[in-house]
Structure 1
């Protein structure tokens, strides 16, 4: 198969995943190409980055151990991306990967920063809330702290985010 960056460029400038499923099949069969896939998350083309991070997240969701060698880079490098489609998947990945205490602290800080404002893409807000709720359930985040952030998201421009924030707040209150 050709270079992943070239394959992931197929689909052009659209939210289409193009040939990303082919890349996933190749990486499943040949784990030695995972580095190449991960490198595409930092490609110059934002559409390649979107397809690459989506493919990587699917790989890790299937087999979290496959993501282990990349955990530090997810937390330290990918959290710096301003691209919403990368941030959304990073929020998913930090819930899928086994994090050290320091990595979890960094991930939680990053997620909180996303939710401290309504000036955040709706899909990033939705996934950051979902992941922080998971961290509350795991005992890594205080429910009261998350409640404050959820209250902020109840004023988000997206009705979907507002509804999700309200549902999460209600669920957290029921737990206490």
Structure 2
């Protein structure tokens, strides 16, 4: 159990919000990390491990044309996976991982190419310019190390987004209480 997973569960629980996970290269490791936290059921809705490219479209609603043109290892695919799992599982937040853990390249992308995405309750689609957050990673190491770092990275991005939202909400409340701008 990581401190990041503990912090994610704690923040979501305090906020009364929920999380859904879409995974490809991590194959369920993100969900396992989150559910290792006692009390995770208060915030965790579930996950979809869409390892096969076709499932990204069929289960998560990733655009078939995008998958055909760019393959599964792509920033927009990650964004659409996060938005799709959020929608499919009825969660406030959706996170996603897609990439190449090895041993061979995939869709023309080298081993260690990973995209992690977070889609929050802002009402925006992750595919839009102002929507969710996607980070591109270039990771080194063994297959296991790349997968483990992908888990750590997506949880870190989610924590930053949760902290940013909380700060923004607190600022809005301060402005209202002070009656100023």
For the criterion TM > 0.5, the same-fold answer is no
Q: Determine which structure has greater relative contact order: mean sequence separation of CA pairs < 8 Å that are 6+ residues apart, divided by chain length.
A: 2
Richer in strand (by share): 2
Richer in helix (by share): 1
TM-score by length of 2: 0.23
